[in-house]
Structure 1
Amino acid sequence: MKVNNVEMVISAVKPDQYPDDGLPEFALAGRSNVGKSSFINKMINRKSLARTSSKPGKTQTLNFYRIEETLYFVDVPGYGFAKVSKREREAWGQMIETYLTTRKELRAVMLIVDLRHPPTEDDVLMYDFLKHYEIPCVVIATKADKIPRGKWSKHSKITKEKLNMIPEDELIIFSSETGEGKETAWKVLTKRFR
């Protein structure tokens, strides 16, 4: 997909703030610091529309990015590292759960994991949550440029086994440095989930 027109529409915390134009939405879930913002920026050909940060846990709202007036990427707060209070974390959890389980425009969740390492317990919990609610999922294994190409299939096999992935869900090897996997990701999103 050729992307020229992208707009950050709203940072929402509750359903009455979500956009109401009915466009399909794709949520991005993953650990803080796994590269969600870099993934978004690579997919939309921007350097810094989605803010990347060396401080994990910066995204604290649901950020809606409208792309080419045809779909949204929705960046949800990362899990794992964020140095926030337990109460704050619970509030985020509630906000994310409400969005993922009630939003009819949501077509699929892109679960962002780090190809270099086996998925964390939090990644497994998120994947299990999506399966429990029958929410379609695409696993995006980032930072592929950090390991030799010859080891990609070994690492993706570990990821699939650790998540106990079902065959219908795809795993896309991705690098926001080289653009590896970008075309595949667009193809999957625009063909499978329209």
Structure 2
Amino acid sequence: MTQPPENDDYFEEGRRLFAGPCEFIFASARPDDLPPAGPPEIAFAGRSNVGKSSLLNALTNRKTLARVSNTPGRTQQLNFFAMGVGANGGERLRLVDMPGYGYAAVGKEKIASWTRLMQDYLRGRATLARVFILVDGRRGVRDVDEEMFDLLDRSAVSYQIVLTKYDELKVSERAPMVEATRAALSRRPAAYPELVFTSSHSGEGIAQLRASIVQLLHERNA
């Protein structure tokens, strides 16, 4: 269905990394209020209510790292989390939880403010290694996702698609969804070609996503 990282050691390294310390360190509501650049950053974005908070909680083996809400638009800022914090206080990785895009139960002015924040962050953050875009695996790529892809392509920021809600699809629906998503990305210059299909409920694909992040860290350090 999707191609896993080639090195099996990445799975164990990913398990250990995400089982270790993970600390909330900063929240940014304005482009001029970002934390100082540090280790590589992995950002997570997606349409409002796509299951981003649930995925972050599953990824880090925590129940409340990211708040889960049935109200779209709950994440209203860039939230930074330090991963792999050692005894000397150093970080190996930062996770960045981005505001959900698309529909949100707030006014247009607030949505425009979030959009500017995301645009400025994406265009000016040298430590940003990749953005993982969550797409509802039941519904596939939507117009609002395509708009986010356009922004990332223009910003020359590498991004990879994570299809969510794997457990809610029939077996016969999974492969066609993967192929349709790949087709939507086929001419996207900044899109990473491989997909990860996940379920926060069953844990499907979570180990693969962790391993993909570890592989990216190794590639940046090579």
Do they superpose with TM above 0.5?
A: yes
- CA deviation profile, 1:52-98 (whole Å, cap 9, x unmatched): 10111011100111112211111111011202222111111111100
**SS state of the match for residue 79, structure 2?**
strand
Alpha-carbon distance in structure 2 between the residues aligned to 1:47 and 1:94: 30
Larger Rg: 2
Alpha-carbon distance in structure 2 between the residues aligned to 1:122 and 1:183: 28
State the partner residue of 1:141. Answer: 163
State the partner residue of 1:128. Answer: 150
State the partner residue of 1:48. Answer: 64
Question: Relative to structure 2, which stretch is displaced further, 131-140 or 105-114?
Answer: 131-140
1:164 CA drift (Å): 4.2
Alpha-carbon distance in structure 1 between the residues aligned to 2:150 and 2:175: 23
State the partner residue of 2:131. Answer: 109
State the partner residue of 2:112. Answer: 90
CA, structure 1 residues 65+165, in 2 after alignment: closer, same or farther (shift >3 Å)?
A: farther
Asked if structure 1 preserves the Cα contact closer than 8 Å seen for 2:198 and 2:205, the reply is yes
Alpha-carbon distance in structure 1 between the residues aligned to 2:116 and 2:185: 23
State the partner residue of 1:187. Answer: 211
In structure 2, what residue type is equivalent to 1:40? L
Asked if structure 2 preserves the Cα contact closer than 8 Å seen for 1:119 and 1:163, the reply is no
Alpha-carbon distance in structure 1 between the residues aligned to 2:153 and 2:39: 23
- CA deviation profile, 1:4-60 (whole Å, cap 9, x unmatched): 211111111234533326111011111010011111101100012100101110111
CA, structure 1 residues 132+108, in 2 after alignment: closer, same or farther (shift >3 Å)?
A: same
Identity level (%): 36
Residue 157 (str. 1) matches residue 179 (str. 2): yes
Asked if structure 2 preserves the Cα contact closer than 8 Å seen for 1:123 and 1:163, the reply is no
Question: Relative to structure 2, which stretch is displaced further, 152-161 or 15-24?
Answer: 15-24
1:176 CA drift (Å): 0.5
Alpha-carbon distance in structure 2 between the residues aligned to 1:51 and 1:165: 35
Asked if structure 2 preserves the Cα contact closer than 8 Å seen for 1:25 and 1:105, the reply is yes
Asked if structure 1 preserves the Cα contact closer than 8 Å seen for 2:160 and 2:192, the reply is no
Question: Relative to structure 2, which stretch is displaced further, 165-174 or 81-90?
Answer: 165-174
1:129 CA drift (Å): 1.6
Q: Unpaired segments of 5 or more residues in structure 2?
A: 1-13, 86-91
Alpha-carbon distance in structure 1 between the residues aligned to 2:124 and 2:161: 21
Higher relative contact order (CA 8 A, sep 6+): 2
